[in-house]
Structure 1
Amino acid sequence: MQSASPSSDGMPVVKTWDLCKTYRTGFWLNKTSESLKSCSLEVLGGETFGLLGPNGAGKTTLLKILLGIIRPTGGNATLLGKPFGDRPTRQRIGYLPENAYFYDFLTAWEFLDFTAGLFQIPRGKRQKRIKRLLDTVGLAQEVAKKRQLRKYSKGMLQRVGMAQALINDPDLVFLDEPMSGLDPLGRYQVREIILSLKAQGKTIFFNSHILADVELICDRLAILSKGEIICQGTLDELLGAADRYQVVIEGGTEAALRSWVPDLSRKDHHWIGHLEGDPQKFIASLSLMKARLLDLKLARVSLEDFFIRQIRNHDPQAHIEENLKAIA
């Protein structure tokens, strides 16, 4: 498959301004419920962007608005530099819904051929593209041609879904909970597919509540809670640098230690702070400073801890334990 246009790299591919969605509820439709509130975010070309949030936060609502499946109550957005809903732009977008529907009595090959026909891909190109996609998602061509989809496992169906989302060689791919319901092997396979798409220069926007996967593959992320974006940025911006260490030291002098630990402070008769420099060289120099290392650990908070803190700060009544059942 071809890479995304290099001109899109680093430029906003998805941009929203104050998107909101209000539904009418109740028997007489005389009540309202806000599913999305003043949502503004930006996704750059060539990056993998994760949208996190507990169940019911509004993740799928935002994605469906961007895809033109539902209309927003207010606000605006652009996709690939064009107003969302632009028909030619849709030809450059791939989408895998959370609960995709497949025609059970078709084979994977027949289903992908049917999908390619919807994009009016010439028959000669279809065969080559389907073969490449089956290789990309790790599905054997013989199985794809002979076995009906009703006989596929959840993981195999998810791979077929990924293939159909890529059948038009999109520049921008939306994935709604792509790891949901998969076993560890299935999640690993989907992660590898997403990483391969990133290597091709594709822009991937996906919703998830499986934080371990997001931490492994995302360049940037945003957290959505009760319809509001409460934070967004790179992992380093939100969690702290991945290679920063916190140290606890016994002995030594403040003057000598501060050259390695600029924010050095005293606590319970020990020195603590954050190491600046090579950890191995620091450990080797401790004996010269007549000091002893008691503890050295990464100072970066985990994405799970950060997520829980952000949700609780925004919504103290949130049932975190229920919403995090899917986290592995």
Structure 2
Amino acid sequence: MDKVEKALEFTNVGKIYRRNHFFKTTETKALTDFSLDVRKGEIFCLLGLNGAGKTTTVKLALNLIFPDSGQIRVLGEKPSPEVISRVGYVSESPYLFPYLTARELFNLMGILSGLNAPRRAEAIDRICDFLSLGDFIDKKIGDCSKGMQQRVLLAQALLHDPELLILDEPYSGLDPVGISQMRQYIEKLNSEGKTILMTSHLIAESEKIAKRAGILKDGRVAKVIPVRQGLLEKEFLEAVS
């Protein structure tokens, strides 16, 4: 059997948050003996109750924080600025510069991603066409609807054509139409070869889109399962109870 390529791999990872208050240090275990992998080309959904470790997992994958033990590989390599430049990220709680237009934001993000002017222009045209942003590209972001802002968020994450896309609660704040549109975008990106890791509280939506799901409980991987229609909620409740 051919070896399955991994886009993201955690091996026995531990993470402890330490807080100093006067002369006392408190410790909170965020992840313990955490092992998980995301295969290249799949949509993998990370599920868990609040405080289960989803956000810590995402931050570690993006090299924003560092593990206290264990090993992490992103696209087959140790996390570094060069490797993370091949990753796109959509945050659950972003700051979108409401006084900028979408075009201005994309130009700024393109510059930060190292794209020169011709490549930025090509990338903006490509992403606007893909996400149907043409009518909104010169509108101030603060004047856009929540659904449109989510599309802008996804667009800025795609400008540099990443191999791995990490979506933290991509359906947050969306109405049913917006959720359906976001699902279609995610599915199309995956069909074009992008690996996608997403976190979500919406089990029914995760069931429609993910190939596998990892269920977290108290900083550990309780279960990794293939997603089967009609069974994910049952599996989730059994794992976290």
TM-score class, shorter-chain normalisation, is: over 0.9
- Count of residues paired in the alignment: 238
- Structure 1 residues 19-28 or 106-115, which shifts more? 19-28
SS at 1:201 equivalent: coil
Q: How far is the alpha carbon of 1:19 from its aligned partner? A: 1.2
Residue 169 of structure 2 is matched in structure 1 by: 177
SS at 1:65 equivalent: helix
1:81 corresponds to 2:76: yes
Is the CA contact 1:10–1:46 (under 8 Å) kept in the aligned structure 2? no
| 2:160 counterpart letter in structure 1 | N
1:47 corresponds to 2:54: no
| 1:31 counterpart letter in structure 2 | T
Write out per-residue CA displacement over residues 168-221 of structure 1, whole angstroms, 9 at most, x where no aligned residue. 100001111111121111111111111011011000011111111110110111
1:304 corresponds to 2:230: no
Residue 3 of structure 1 is matched in structure 2 by: none
Q: TM-score, normalised by structure 1?
A: 0.70
Residue 125 of structure 1 is matched in structure 2 by: 119
SS at 1:111 equivalent: helix
Residue 286 of structure 1 is matched in structure 2 by: none
Residue 276 of structure 1 is matched in structure 2 by: none
2:109 equivalent among 115, 140, 155: 115
- Structure 1 residues 186-195 or 119-128, which shifts more? 119-128
SS at 1:126 equivalent: helix
State percent identity of aligned pairs. Answer: 36
Q: How far is the alpha carbon of 1:24 from its aligned partner? A: 2.1
- Structure 1 residues 302-311 or 98-107, which shifts more? 302-311
Spell out the pairing of 1:56-75 with structure 2 (5 A cutoff). Answer: 56-75=51-70
Residue 32 of structure 1 is matched in structure 2 by: 27
CA distance in 1, matches of 2:72, 2:62: 10
CA distance in 2, matches of 1:191, 1:142: 21
Spell out the pairing of 1:281-320 with structure 2 (5 A cutoff). Answer: 301-312=230-241
| 1:197 counterpart letter in structure 2 | L
Write out per-residue CA displacement over residues 37-77 of structure 1, whole angstroms, 9 at most, x where no aligned residue. 11101111111010000111110111101101111121111
Q: How far is the alpha carbon of 1:26 from its aligned partner? A: 6.7
SS at 1:224 equivalent: strand
Q: TM-score, normalised by structure 2?
A: 0.94
| 2:6 counterpart letter in structure 1 | P
Structure 1: 5+ residue runs without aligned partners?
1-8, 237-241, 243-300, 313-328
CA distance in 2, matches of 1:156, 1:56: 29
Write out per-residue CA displacement over residues 131-189 of structure 1, whole angstroms, 9 at most, x where no aligned residue. 221122232x23212x1011111111111000011111000011111111211111111
Is the CA contact 2:44–2:198 (under 8 Å) kept in the aligned structure 1? yes
Residue 142 of structure 2 is matched in structure 1 by: 150
CA distance in 1, matches of 2:129, 2:203: 27
Residue 193 of structure 1 is matched in structure 2 by: 185
Is the CA contact 2:63–2:84 (under 8 Å) kept in the aligned structure 1? no
| 1:308 counterpart letter in structure 2 | L
CA distance in 2, matches of 1:164, 1:180: 17
SS at 1:131 equivalent: helix
CA distance in 1, matches of 2:170, 2:131: 13
Residue 99 of structure 1 is matched in structure 2 by: 93
If you compute each CA radius of gyration, which structure gives the higher value, 1 or 2? 1
Higher relative contact order (CA closer than 8 Å, sequence separation 6+): 2
1:206 equivalent among 177, 198, 204: 198
| 1:70 counterpart letter in structure 2 | I
| 1:112 counterpart letter in structure 2 | F
Write out per-residue CA displacement over residues 287-326 of structure 1, whole angstroms, 9 at most, x where no aligned residue. xxxxxxxxxxxxxx531122112111xxxxxxxxxxxxxx
Spell out the pairing of 1:202-281 with structure 2 (5 A cutoff). Answer: 202-236=194-228
